[in-house]
Every structure is written in structure tokens, then in C-alpha cells.
Amino acid sequence: MMDMFLISGLQVLINDSGDVYASGYFAPEAQSMMKQALDKIVIKVRPQLIPLIEATKLQELPTNLGNKFGDIYELQMEQARNSRMNKLDKDGVPPQWEAYIKPLLHGSKYPDAKL
């Protein structure tokens, strides 16, 4: 967690450091040094990011990155099956096929569309 606080602090200093430069507290090369330090810490923390995110996620909001059960592919398949987009299809053909996709494939530009 200390690394996460360092990342947050460095990010704030990099994005909003005008006053510390104006006061002479930071030298001009401090900006590049802070960016280098941020890069090193992010590389160090990167392997723990997904477990950290998964540990803090709400149970009502499943993510495709993974879950505590390890069934990420099953979760993705379930989400795809239950997608609103799949409910729009009529006999396996999306409603936009006739109006948009078919004319485009045959060389005309949206003859029935009201754009």
C-alpha cells in the first residue's frame, strides 16, 4: 500500500508542481526525476494490480479480468449471452443488417437510413 501512496503523491506532484518550482524548492530537473521514480514504482506494483483491484471490487460488479473463483472465461461467455445486443437479433440477424450493413457491402451508402 505504501507504493500506492507513493504513486498517488508523485502523480500529484508531476501534474501540479508549479508552486514548488516558482518558490525555488524544486530544481528544473526534478520533473524528469519524479517521472522516472513513478515509472519504477509502477513497474514494481504492476504484478499486484489485478489482485488489488479484484480484492476491492464489489460483488455486484463482476469483471472480465478475473474473479475469486478463477472462471474468467465462463464469466465472459455468460455476459456475452446475456448482452442486450444479443437480445436485439431476430433469427440471428441484427436489425441494422438490412438498413446499414447489406447496402454498404453491395456498394451503396445507407439508402434507407435517415442520417
Q: What is the full DSSP assignment across 5-52?
A: HHHHHHHHHHHS-HHHHHTTSS-TTHHHHHHHHHHHHHHHHGGGHHHH
Find out whether 21 and 28 touch, Cβ atoms under 8 Å: yes
Q: Which residue has the higher pLDDT, 84 or 4?
A: 4
**pLDDT tens for each residue of 20-64:** 777 777 887 888 888 999 999 999 988 887 777 766 655 555 555
* Domains of the chain by residue range: 2-56
Q: Tell me if residue 69 falls in helix, strand or coil.
A: coil
Find out whether 82 and 47 touch, Cβ atoms under 8 Å: no
pLDDT at 62: 53
Q: Which residue has the higher pLDDT, 86 or 27?
A: 27
Cβ contacts of 3 within 8 Å, gap of 6 or more: 41, 44, 45
**pLDDT tens for each residue of 1-11:** 788 899 988 88
Q: Average of pLDDT values for 99-112?
A: 74
